[in-house]
Structures are given as structure tokens and as C-alpha cells.
């Protein structure tokens, strides 16, 4: 069976709303408009305006409101039309949602999912094209989920909603319409994917390609290219950046002795920087080549098509760098 990421997210939310009355959705255009990207399509018709709340364009207001509702035991699923706009609300995400459990000695929890598209879309310019993964994964108290395909989207969304902690759920606009095969198991309403566990998408023995979200697809394509040249790449889909499955990364490096981390975000203090440090800590003796990072170019996103193309990692970049660490 095939399923789009959009339908995977939509069905996962609908099932969780069916399962638990305390789950509700709020955000800009989630109701009558059916979602800016149609992720909440049909939900207001099915669950009513009490549980699918259209908000004004006031991110700080509704993110803070969701925190208060979470404190009281409700389970808000908050859509940011894009994570660029979540910057308006980051005070509540960091200072309210992430820290209150710790500050209250475990007495007040904040079971929220903050979700929406993150990272570069296409041709939308600098203020709408950035990856916030590294920001959120640095915050203790948050969990950060980064699905790639439909199976990830369903299993991880259901897990995120059921999880009693605040979860940042970073989707990718360009993947919403993409169809992926989905297993019968993942279609079960009871199926949830574990948070904090990476997935080996393709086993290999020569080099490890680690990535998340859209870049997993690019790594898979790169692995196919590399196979033609006799290099057997292992592709790891992180699925979750906090907790980060460092054991899975280290285990792969112990096997391949080489690692390339691929992300769309900026290089400095990025996801790849963190993983490079982890590999040093966990598997230094197993490395036969320096850890390589492939990242977005260290600039605000340009608008012009030719320059935008140059600003983001491509399959050819992954192939080139993978060969470099294999000394080929």
C-alpha cells in the first residue's frame, strides 16, 4: 500500500483524537480552511470546532495558551503554519513547555505537540527557508521528532501525541505530497513508533550516511549511486533528534568506520556538528577517516533558482563526499 506523508499525518491525528478526548488541534487555518497545507483536512468536519480551533495570527498567544491547557491535562496539537513563525512563540516553547516539569520537581507536565513544516521549501526566500532542528535539539526538556516517510509520519505522530512531554514535530513541506510504501503494521491504529530510535533504511558496510527528514531520501539515492561504483553505504534515518539514538550511530560507525552527516540546516553548531562530536566520543578508535558534514551553505537562503539550488545539499554532493571519506 502507498500513502502520502500528508495522509499519514492526517490519519494519525484523527485516530488519536478518536482515542483520547483530551487531544485537540489548534493553529492558524487548521479548521475551516482545512490547513494551510491540508494536513488537518476534514478534521473540523469530523470533530467539530471545539476540538479543531482556528486561532488568530498570534503565535505567542496560542502557543502559551496551549501550554496552560497542557498543564491542566489536555493534550494540544499545535500547528505552526511553518516553523519560521514559531520564532514568535519560542519563549513559550523553551521557557514554559520545556522547563516547567523540571522546575516544578516533576509535578507539572506539558504534554504538547508543536508541529508544522520546517526547513527550506522552494522559492520562498530567506525568511521562509530555514531548518530549526539544531535549535530545538539543544533544549533539555523537549523531544524533537523528524519524520521522513509516511511510516515515520504515522508512527511518530501517534507516539508524539501519546507522549506526556512536549514534542517538537518537524515536518517538511516538500514531502507532504510524496507517496511511500506503508506496512500493514503501520496502518494499525495501535501502532506507535518509539521515540529516540533511529532506523537503518539500507544496511551497508563501507560508509555510514546519517540524516533526517527530506535528506534521508537524498541519502538513499546517493547510496544507489555509490553502489554502482562498488561502495556499500549504510543509510540511517535518525527519526528523532532528541533523544538522539547515539548508540545506533556508533554501532554503524564501528561497522563501516566512516561517516557522513547530511542536513539542510546551517553548518555552525548544527546537527552534523553535534553528531561529529558524538562520534568522537563514542567511536573515535573506529574511524578510518575524519567525520564529514554536508550542510546547507552558511548564508540566508537566496531567492534566485540557480543560487537556491547551490545553497542546499544534493545527491551529487553526498556521493562526492562519501567517496572522499572512502579515499576513492
Partner 1 sequence: MMIDVPIPFVAHRIDPPSQTVETSKAEIVDMFTQSYLMRRLEIAADVLYKGKFIRGFCHLYDGQARSISHWSPYDREAVCVGMEAALNKDDAIVTSYRDHCTHLGRGGTPLEVMAELMGRIDGASKGMGGSMHMYKRDAHFFGGNGIVGAQASSDWSPYDRTPIGAGLAFAMQYEKKPNVAVAMYGDGAANQGQLFEALNIAALWDLPLIYVCENNHYGMGTAIAKSAKSPEYFKRGDYVPGLKVDGMDALAVKQAIKFAKEHCVSGKGPIVLEMDTYRYHGHSMSDPGSTYRTRDEITGIRQERDPVERLRKLIVEHELLDTAEIKAIEKAQRKIVDEAVAAGKASPEPPVENLMKNMNQIMDNVVVRGVDSEARTHLTEAYGVK
Judged by the rule CB under 8 A, the positions of this chain that interact with partner 1 are 24, 50, 53, 55-56, 58, 60-74, 91-92, 95-96, 100-109, 140-141, 143, 163-165, 194-197, 240, 243-246, 281-282
Do the beta carbons of residue 170 and residue 213 sit within 8 Å? yes
Residue with Cβ nearer partner 1 (181 or 243)? 243
Q: Which of 206, 210, 179, 201 is nearest to 276 (CA)?
A: 210
* Closer of 113 and 318 to partner 1 (Cβ): 113
State the nearest-atom distance from the C-beta of 318 to partner 1, in Å.
27
Q: Which is nearer to partner 1, 58 or 205 (CB)?
A: 58
- H or E stretch at 25: strand 23-27
Going by C-alpha positions, the residue among 113, 230, 250, 96 that lies closest to residue 171 is: 113
Query: Is position 191 annotated as part of the catalytic site?
Result: no
Catalytic residue among 29, 128, 225, 286: 128
Q: How far apart are CA 210 and CA 215, in angstroms?
A: 9
Handedness of CA 5, 10, 16, 22 (dihedral sign): positive
- The grid cell for 9 is 499525518
Eight-state DSSP code of residue 92: I
Helix axes 271-283, 246-256, angle to 10 degrees: 60
Answer yes or no: 59 catalytic. yes
For residues 144 and 311, which CB has a smaller minimum distance to partner 1 in the complex? 144
> To the nearest whole angstrom, how small is the minimum distance from the Cβ of residue 192 to partner 1?
12
Tell me the closest approach of the beta carbon of residue 58 to partner 1, in angstroms.
Answer: 4
* Ordered strands of the 259-262 beta sheet: 199-202, 233-237, 207-211, 259-262, 292-294
Nearest-approach distance from CB 242 to partner 1, in angstroms: 8
Q: Which of 16, 28, 59, 173 is catalytic?
A: 59
The residue to which cell 516538500 is assigned: 174
Least distance from partner 1 to the Cβ atom of residue 243, Å: 4
Helices (H) and strands (E) in the chain, counts: 13, 14
Q: Which is nearer to partner 1, 244 or 322 (CB)?
A: 244
Task: Write out the catalytic residue numbers.
Answer: 59, 128
Amino acid at each position: 500500500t502507498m500513502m502520502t506523508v500528508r495522509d499519514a499525518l492526517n490519519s494519525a491525528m484523527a485516530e488519536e483524537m478518536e482515542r483520547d478526548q483530551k487531544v485537540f488541534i489548534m493553529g492558524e487555518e487548521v479548521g475551516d480552511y482545512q490547513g494551510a497545507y491540508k494536513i488537518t483536512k476534514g478534521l473540523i468536519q469530523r470533530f467539530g470546532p471545539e476540538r479543531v480551533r482556528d486561532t488568530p495570527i498570534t503565535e505567542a498567544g496560542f502557543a502559551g495558551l496551549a501550554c496552560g491547557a497542557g498543564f491542566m491535562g489536555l493534550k494540544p496539537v499545535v500547528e505552526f503554519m511553518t516553523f519560521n513563525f514559531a520564532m514568535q512563540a519560542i519563549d513559550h516553547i523553551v521557557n514554559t513547555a520545556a522547563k516547567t516539569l523540571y522546575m516544578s520537581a516533576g509535578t507539572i507536565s506539558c504534554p504538547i505537540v508543536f508541529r508544522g513544516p520546517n526547513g527550506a521549501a522552494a522559492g520562498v526566500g530567506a525568511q521562509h527557508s530555514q531548518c530549526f532542528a539544531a535549535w530545538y535539539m539543544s533544549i533539555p526538556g523537549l523531544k524533537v521528532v523528524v519524520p521522513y516517510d509516511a511510516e515515520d509520519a504515522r508512527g511518530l505522530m501517534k507516539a508524539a501525541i501519546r507522549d506526556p512531554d512536549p514534542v517538537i514535530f518537524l515536518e517538511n513541506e516538500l514531502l507532504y505530497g510524496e507517496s511511500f510504501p506503508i506496512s500493514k503494521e503501520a496502518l494499525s491504529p495501535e501502532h506507535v513508533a518509539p521515540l529516540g530510535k533511529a532506523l537503518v533504511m539500507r544496511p551497508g558496510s563501507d560508509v555510514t550516511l546519517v540524516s533526517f527528514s527530506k535528506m534521508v531520501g537524498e541519502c538513499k539515492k546517493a547510496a544507489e549511486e555509490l553502489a554502482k561504483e562498488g561502495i556499500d553505504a549504510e543509510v540511517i534515518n535518525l527519526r528523532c533528534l532528541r533523544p538522539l539514538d547515539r548508540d545506533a550511530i556508533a554501532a554503524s560507525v564501528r561497522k563501516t568506520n566512516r561517516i557522513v552527516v547530511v542536513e539542510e540546516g546551517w553548518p555552525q553548531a548544527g546537527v552534523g556538528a553535534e553528531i561529529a562530536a558524538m562520534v568522537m566520543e563514542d567511536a573515535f578508535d573506529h574511524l578510518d577517516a575524519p567525520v564529514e558534514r554536508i550542510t546547507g551553505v552558511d548564508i540566508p537562503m537566496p531567492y534566485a533558482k540557480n543560487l537556491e539550488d547551490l545553497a542546499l545539499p544534493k545527491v551529487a554532493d553526498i556521493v562526492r563526499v562519501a567517496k572522499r571519506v572512502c579515499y576513492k
